[in-house]
Amino acid sequence: MPGAQSEDRLARLWEKHQRALFPASFRGVGIEGVELILLDADVAGLVQRELNGGLDESGIAVLWACIADLDKIMPLISEEYCAAYFTGLRAMAGVAAARYIPTAS
C-alpha cells in the first residue's frame, strides 16, 4: 500500500526532525523575506496535522507555500548543518504533500 509506506516514511522523518536541533546561528534570520524559524514551525505543525488525520484545503495551501519558500531559500544556505537541517525539512514537507499534488487544469 503506497499510502501506508508514505505515512511510515513521514513518521520516520518526523521522528528524526524532532531530534534535530534548529540551527542556533539562524534563529531570527530571514532569507529572501522568509523567516527560517517560522518556516520550520509551520512545516512542523502541518506535518503533525497530516500524521494526525490529514490536512484541510487551507493546510494544503500553506504546505505548498512552505515548500515554495524552502525551494527558494535552500540554495542560498551555505552553512553545512543549516543546509542539512532544511534539506530534511524539505524532504519531510515533500512526503507530507505527496498525496496532495495538484492536478493539472
pLDDT the model gives residue 24: 92
Cα 69 from Cα 35, distance rounded (Å): 10
Tens-binned pLDDT, residue by residue, of the chain (105 aa):
346 777 899 999 999 999 999 999 999 999 999 999 999 999 999 999 999 999 999 999 999 999 999 999 999 999 999 999 999 999 999 999 998 876 666
Q: With helix as H, strand as E and coil as C, how does the chain read?
A: CHHHHHHHHHHHHHHHHHHCCCCHHHCCCEECCEEHHHHHHHHHHHHHHHHCCCCCHHHHHHHHHHHHHHHHHHHHCCCHHHHHHHHHHHHHHHHHHHHHCCCCC
pLDDT the model gives residue 1: 39
Cα 81 from Cα 23, distance rounded (Å): 7
Query: To which residue does cell 484541510 refer?
Result: 56
Cα 35 from Cα 29, distance rounded (Å): 6
pLDDT the model gives residue 105: 62
